[in-house]
Structure 1
């Protein structure tokens, strides 16, 4: 897990704790439900993809003016945060920045060329926190690690002398990327190439600035299997160039809250504002950020005084390991954590070849990490109920740690939200259900330069901004469906899984 030390925390809107001895409270009865229904209808009516696109166009222009990206620690992100801050300030919110320090990463080179016996280029992605090769790269023979359940995770996987001075070719699985490259280095390898054990690219991290010991990159399953087969037939020589700039920089979250509402029943929604260095990040995650901003501004225009405080967050450094959300949650006292009634997360809500995913709060799909904290099932039901009433298809997605709900779940805070797909491949059944193209990624421009304004599905965007609007309208007045919890809530749910963050802070068992 990539964790940068969170320092220089400014005074963010961390919320005042409820008075000592006072139990969290909320109104009951038909009046509460009527207020919620009225506000929900109003916000859903006002929300639209067209309004969200106005903010996305601004994010695109800010990326265009700043080296084509809005990555944490860059001028593009700083300008995006300032835009969101100023829009919210003008709307009358109480707004603050939360500044923290990150280990900034910028990939300078990531190339892999087979020089013999069959010369060709292979796409490779540098893993975050990797060691760098010299300019021009390193040229060496490939040595493939035998494939088993824990390929490359143990010293015994590397035959004595077989990897000295060579580049290790390792299949993903069984342990973290960091462990694989450490074991390869211990066996004498000068670099490591990790190939996927499923479809799609590897876009990952070694998890810590001090973890990298040899240059390490990721390639697809098909490319890795082809190279392994070639190595089995005879010597294969490659040149790998993997170089990264790594330095300490400051970045900041934007936090905004309503002036009205009970602080001891705070409703919280968030989206990460940063992109990767490779592109402007208009779907990932300009879409969630713009959708959240649009609903926040619509809420301000209603002049509604919510019964419960509503807090919106635009996180930085999600792409580096959920660092903004982690810095925020870490700064909360136990009492302040208990005051957060729920957290809803919106990440990539306009994927071009979308599927409509809702976080599986009750673990009814029985896959992955298990259910969210008590109350997460109700959040899932709230979203699926809204979609069902509109006759819109949906399906569950696991709490796999791939976005900013992670630190909230670890703190025992009920969590949920939506997602429309990243590098995963759409199935034939999903294509029939949602439209689009089977056998193609939900977002073919995931973490790429082409994640621009042309990479947005307006239908998906429209549906998901309505989901945000309904949730804000409902929970601003009515929290009766969310169980109250003790102040000492929450052991980390994801503990015990051997994981590695992908480049967008997403977690993937390596």
Structure 2
């Protein structure tokens, strides 16, 4: 159950910052008002410098930058400082969320073993030690498990045992809900065996969504699941920490030129997972977006205002972006309609990368049932793919799944696209041919892990995608005509309404 949210929007002055912007290079001289100039201005060195700052922040704050922690606050202070130094007014949009410290999964017997694990978002709290019972699991590579998706999977389940369930076939929340109804005292969800990498995709990072689950639920890797399923007498412990309410925020900034009734919006989540520094996920997207904002501020005149969003609490269920859009729906629906399109950048520096573009035209992947593709999304995708084609850069489609911060936008009719270099899934042989790297190994073997640090990010992928982000920003700042038919400011001769960076009407 989600806690009630409140609206509290406030800007913070530079005097309150705790981190300086030492090491941030100056904006490039000139007026980078076209794609070639903007791509030259947004350098990979500058993007990497921002990532170095995020790494230093994580190192000084318990090794992570997760929402509700000092690491997130320091990351936000840094981003705000850089934006304000470039001339932006920055708004912090606050919201409350359920905060839960990382939990634990361990085998007690026959072989005491501590596993890398993730407490599911929305998990109940508790400390359970009990025998493990596997529920309709499938071991081996290439399985298509539907473990725990049906109530019948739990026929004869021993009440009080821990349910060992495999990923696949339905929502994590449905699996956990069925397990609780069957009398399970806790749930361990493990990954599918669909890669040859040693970690077999790493631990499951589950979100239980709409399901009200009161027992501890945790995710582990495929190999941990195999270990826990054999022998049948395995006893394990699952610990999920108590939930408390904390406050976090989005950072929003907007250019001071360009029509405000046809805003181009670009976003990346700023928070990382508890397990590590979060440099690829998603320091990479945030750093590339930040440097694009710095250089776009040098353009003397834009036809369309560009709004930059650095989302909070994405890792906990897309909370920041959902709050932002829900706030507009409730308080200023007209301004929601003034967003021409939204572009999302979540993981753009994976070490075993692909260059993926959200497949709005469904040329490779049909959108999942219930995921809308608003009009203009295909044309937004084209801005990215046409650019890659123009410079001879190979790219591939990645599923338009709604499983990142563009979800709230598309659900409310705003067109969207974005870039993604891959997470825990394995790279294909065809992608190895296009991009190098190693087929059969996860795009990012450190996904949601302690190894997601500055030493495990691809500078090459960052360079490619930073150029694409720079191109999209300046191209759409000049014209969104292909997306929504709107031309530059002043065509009607009427003044445009003035809104602040959150989309609220200015006083």
Q: Which residue of 2 aligns with 1:206?
A: 208
SS across alignment from 1:275: coil
In 1, are the aligned partners of 2:131 and 2:162 still within 8 Å (CA)?
yes
Q: Which residue of 2 aligns with 1:340?
A: 339
Q: Which residue of 1 aligns with 2:130?
A: 139
Q: Which residue of 2 aligns with 1:167?
A: 162
Q: 2:176 aligns with which of 175, 181, 188?
A: 181
Aligned equivalents of 1:450 and 1:389: distance in 2?
A: 35
Aligned equivalents of 1:279 and 1:126: distance in 2?
A: 14
Q: Between 93-102 and 122-131, report the one with greater CA deviation.
A: 122-131
Shift of 1:403: 1.1
TM (norm. structure 2) is 0.83
Q: Which residue of 1 aligns with 2:80?
A: 85
Considering only aligned residues, what root-mean-square deviation do their CA atoms show, in Å? 2.5
TM (norm. structure 1) is 0.83
SS across alignment from 1:482: helix
Q: 2:269 aligns with which of 258, 269, 272?
A: 272
Structure 2 residue 6 is matched with structure 1 residue 7:
yes
Structure 2 residue 97 is matched with structure 1 residue 95:
no
Shift of 1:217: 2.0
Q: Which residue of 2 aligns with 1:126?
A: 119
Q: Which residue of 2 aligns with 1:364?
A: 363
Deviations 1:346-397 (A, max 9, x none): 1111111100000111111142336621111111111111111111110111
Aligned equivalents of 2:148 and 2:125: distance in 1?
A: 21
> Cα 1:397–1:3, aligned 2, differ >3 Å: closer, same or farther?
farther
Q: 2:105 aligns with which of 111, 123, 126?
A: 111
SS across alignment from 1:399: coil
SS across alignment from 1:179: helix
Deviations 1:26-60 (A, max 9, x none): xxxxxxxxxx9952221111111111011111111
Q: Which runs of 5+ in 1 are unaligned?
A: 13-35, 486-510
In 1, are the aligned partners of 2:47 and 2:287 still within 8 Å (CA)?
yes
Q: 2:188 aligns with which of 184, 193, 216?
A: 193
Q: Which residue of 2 aligns with 1:23?
A: none
Shift of 1:121: 5.4
Shift of 1:337: 1.1
Aligned equivalents of 2:114 and 2:85: distance in 1?
A: 51
Q: Which runs of 5+ in 2 are unaligned?
A: 12-30, 139-143, 195-200, 487-507
Shift of 1:176: 2.5
Shift of 1:190: 1.8
Shift of 1:92: 1.3
Shift of 1:286: 0.6
Aligned equivalents of 2:172 and 2:105: distance in 1?
A: 19
SS across alignment from 1:10: strand
SS across alignment from 1:55: helix
Q: Which residue of 1 aligns with 2:455?
A: 454
Aligned equivalents of 2:168 and 2:345: distance in 1?
A: 28
Q: Which residue of 2 aligns with 1:59?
A: 54
Map 1:461-500 to 2 at 5 A: 461-484=462-485
In 2, are the aligned partners of 1:130 and 1:206 still within 8 Å (CA)?
yes
SS across alignment from 2:280: helix
Shift of 1:126: 2.5
Aligned equivalents of 1:163 and 1:82: distance in 2?
A: 51
Aligned equivalents of 1:371 and 1:178: distance in 2?
A: 22
Aligned equivalents of 1:55 and 1:365: distance in 2?
A: 34
SS across alignment from 1:358: strand
Aligned equivalents of 1:173 and 1:274: distance in 2?
A: 26
Aligned equivalents of 1:389 and 1:419: distance in 2?
A: 19
Structure 2 residue 284 is matched with structure 1 residue 287:
yes
SS across alignment from 2:439: coil
Q: Which has the higher contact order (CA 8 A, sep 6+)?
A: 1
Map 1:364-403 to 2 at 5 A: 364-369=363-368, 372-403=373-404
How many pairs were matched up? 451
Q: Between 96-105 and 162-171, report the one with greater CA deviation.
A: 162-171
Shift of 1:236: 1.7
Q: 1:69 aligns with which of 59, 64, 67?
A: 64
Deviations 1:106-156 (A, max 9, x none): 11x32221613x66555543222323443xx50324353477975323433
In 2, are the aligned partners of 1:268 and 1:311 still within 8 Å (CA)?
yes
Deviations 1:203-251 (A, max 9, x none): 112226x8232222223345435654x46xxx42222232224211111
SS across alignment from 1:236: coil
Aligned equivalents of 2:374 and 2:414: distance in 1?
A: 6
Q: 2:322 aligns with which of 326, 335, 345?
A: 326
In 2, are the aligned partners of 1:172 and 1:197 still within 8 Å (CA)?
yes
Aligned equivalents of 2:340 and 2:154: distance in 1?
A: 50
